[in-house]
Amino acid sequence: MPPSKADRPDQPNAASRFNEEAQTYTVRGADKPDLETGVAAIRNVLATLPARPGVYRMQDSRGEVLYVGKARALKNRVTNYTQVARLSKRLQRMVAQTRGMTIVTTNNEAEALLLEAQLIKRYRPAYNVLLRDDKSFPFILLRADHDFPRIQKHRGARRAKGNYYGPFASAGSVNNTLNALQKLFLLRSCTDSFFNNRDRPCLLYQIKRCSAPCVGRIDEAGYAELVADAKEFLAGKSTRVQEKLGVQMEEASARLDFEHAALLRDRLRALTFIQGTQAINAEGVGDADIFALACKEGVIGIQAFFIRGGQNWGHRSFFPQHTNDVPEDEVLQSFLVQFYEEVPPPKNIFVDRDLGESALLAEALGERAGHRVAISVPQRGDRRRLIEQAKRNAIEALERRLAESTTQAKLLREVADLFELDGPPDRIEVYDNSHIQGTNALGAMIVAGPEGYRKNQYRKFNIKRKETAPGDDYAMMREVLTRRFARAQSEDPDRDRGDWPDLVLLDGGKGQLSTAMEVLEDLGIEDVCMVGVAKGPHHGREGREVFHMMDGREFTLPVNSPTLFYLQRLRDEVHRFAIGAHRQKRAKAMGASPLDDVPGIGPSRKKALLMHFGTARAVRNASLEDLQRAPGVSKGVARTVYDFYHAR
């Protein structure tokens, strides 16, 4: 497999290559959905639309994006939205909300398809099929910026120079592969600073997972050979590597070097283990991604297998949102465009059904990847068996999802009954504070709903108001809730964006709940249900939580209640998030220096000053002449530092 190079220039952002032209039609007093008004807004834009490729955005009266679409000829495509009788109910609702459009023309339809995916990701429109997956895909990175390259797990932007192999379906898949690669090729995984400061081999050398290049147990040429073997293996040439190791083992045995022969034997065993743990037989497939779709009870699940160099690098299930009334082939095509917005496409993509625009999609992905991409529906042989296996996995994953959703829906109904809500809550917010004797204080909010935790909506609140006394939990809760709900009132006064909670859980008892109720009263909010969750008189005993209601009632639940277990999980999650955020803040504060407050002092000058004077206090007490004598510090910088501490 040709690895993706970090030094290859990234494809330009399509949104930055085109000029947007906003064409808005507004009607006073027309904020409510109205089909006739929406059609009039679209016709107003049609008058100036070109018959060129491009992307259009439907917008409501507040400018919120309702839908992003692409077209080979914008004028022809947008005209369809004025023919209301031919539209589905879903699209009729969208047109009724439309009050304006933004148009972006492109050079061709493939560019429009790529731009459409970028804009969908940016705006998350309510009427587009959405790939809601917040997890980035991990890769294996074999670095190329050192004489003894390091192998490591990598997420995020690919800025480091080296070869990237992936994507892997999960961190577990990467970790298993890395462990096997360490046993097989003995490549180092330590950081450069650790490598440079070794004077004897570390434990990984002792357990035969590293060749110890840091202390010269292997020379540069020998290590380069290991790197070459690793590249061949990751490119799918494992048989060649196996034959090479076998020959080397026989040669070592022939010259009676049994210790080296045993090492080669262990490496061969590691290779055999990797080959034997492939969940599917993908030999001869090369580099390919495999997708199959399943639909049941209006829910769609998509299963993906990742094959690189004939090796299975894991699989993952996806459940796109906003798929009602959307044809299944259109859902899969929209999913693929968004999926490959973050992941480099392989040369082959196998799907379980014909797509309406597979040729256009292949052209667009090929333009992004820099190589030819083929999209096909296998009909026979090993590739067809892979599709069938992906289809079975998609069905099984969807059935598990539906079973979990049923259980979750039942729990939410019980929560609604318990706290006397109008219906099952769609958004639950849970709050907690974290600090150590008032230092590095912050508040935390987690969000949960029918689909589980919404981690992309978690928030942390740094406690920063002067009137909030250090360590005052009630004052901290007041600050957090005031900031949260004041912002909700200003940004979503009509409560139609789904950002208002149906239920708020507070980690605490009567005091925290009373504080929260005062905040709501001050803001004029009367219809948000808040509940305090206290540990009760026996703090060390699970299941003795006391629930405090806004009307003054208190109650507990049976220790074996599923609803209690669910509420405990929510409380434990907000504890985890709050403590983790507090630790990060504390660690950052511990690494801070008084010199950070001096304007114009960057890391290098700060280091030079500390190396010369020893401590920040000595820098503060130094004379101007002493500061000027410090290496790497100019007269201007010395004057800046001196004035900061003395000219007050």
CA distances from 8 to 4, 158, 262 (A): 8, 10, 41
- Mean of all residue pLDDT scores within the chain: 82
Residue 339 lies in a domain: yes
Strand order in the sheet with 54-59: 20-24, 100-105, 54-59, 65-71
Read off the pLDDT band of 448 (50, 70, 90): very high
pLDDT of residue 4: 44
pLDDT of residue 277: 47
617 and 577 part of one domain: no
Given 541, 574, 589, the domain boundary residue is 589
Q: Is a pLDDT exceeding 60 seen at residue 397?
A: yes
Residue 422 lies in a domain: no
* Domain that residue 83 falls in: 19-105
Q: What mean pLDDT comes out for the span 52-74? A: 91
pLDDT of residue 403: 83
Q: What are the DSSP calls for 192-235, one per residue?
A: HHHHHT-SS--HHHHTTS---GGGTSS-HHHHHHHHHHHHHHHT
**Lowest mean pLDDT, pick from 474-483, 502-511, 546-555, 582-591:** 582-591
Residue 107, SS3? coil
The predicted-structure confidence for 69-93, as pLDDT tens digits, reads as follows: 999 999 999 999 999 888 888 899 9
Q: Are the beta carbons of 585 and 442 closer than 8 angstroms?
A: yes
439 and 583 part of one domain: yes
Read off the pLDDT band of 464 (50, 70, 90): confident
* 439 vs 94: which has the higher pLDDT: 94
* 30 vs 197: which has the higher pLDDT: 197
pLDDT of residue 595: 66
523 and 630 part of one domain: no
Q: How many domains does the chain have?
A: 5
Q: What mean pLDDT comes out for the span 226-242? A: 75
**Residue 578: CATH number of its domain:** 3.30.420.340
pLDDT of residue 586: 65
Q: Is a pLDDT exceeding 70 seen at residue 528?
A: yes
493 and 581 part of one domain: yes
294 and 214 part of one domain: no
Given 243, 276, 309, the domain boundary residue is 276
494 and 538 part of one domain: yes
Q: What mean pLDDT comes out for the span 530-548? A: 75
Q: Cα–Cα distance between 245 and 256 in angstroms, integer?
A: 16
208 and 260 part of one domain: yes
pLDDT of residue 635: 80
**Percent of the chain at pLDDT exceeding 90:** 27
**Lowest mean pLDDT, pick from 83-97, 319-333, 615-629:** 615-629
What number of other Cβ atoms are within 10 A of residue 5's Cβ?
14
**Residue 611: CATH number of its domain:** 1.10.150.20
226 and 156 part of one domain: yes
pLDDT of residue 336: 93
pLDDT of residue 370: 86
237 and 317 part of one domain: no
306 and 368 part of one domain: yes
494-524 burial code (b ≥16 CB/10 A, e <16): eeeeeebbbbbbbbbbeebbbbbbebbeeee
571 and 450 part of one domain: yes
Residue 148 lies in a domain: yes
Q: Cα–Cα distance between 139 and 153 in angstroms, integer?
A: 6
pLDDT of residue 549: 93
Q: Which of 402-406, 515-519, 627-631, 632-636 has the highest mean pLDDT?
A: 515-519
Read off the pLDDT band of 96 (50, 70, 90): very high
Read off the pLDDT band of 63 (50, 70, 90): confident
**Lowest mean pLDDT, pick from 30-39, 324-333, 605-614:** 605-614
pLDDT of residue 28: 39
**Long-range contacts for 358-363 (Cβ within 8 Å, ≥24 apart)?**
358/333, 360/109, 360/110, 360/113, 361/113, 361/333, 361/336, 361/337, 363/110
453 and 572 part of one domain: yes
Query: DSSP assignment, residue 17?
Result: S
**Lowest mean pLDDT, pick from 46-60, 198-212, 391-405, 582-596:** 582-596
Residue 564 lies in a domain: yes
Read off the pLDDT band of 27 (50, 70, 90): very low
**Residue 293: CATH number of its domain:** 3.30.420
Residue 256 neighbours by CB under 8 Å, 6+ apart: none
Residue 128 lies in a domain: no
Q: Is a pLDDT exceeding 80 seen at residue 605?
A: no
Given 569, 589, 609, the domain boundary residue is 589
Residue 3, SS3? coil
Residue 420 lies in a domain: no
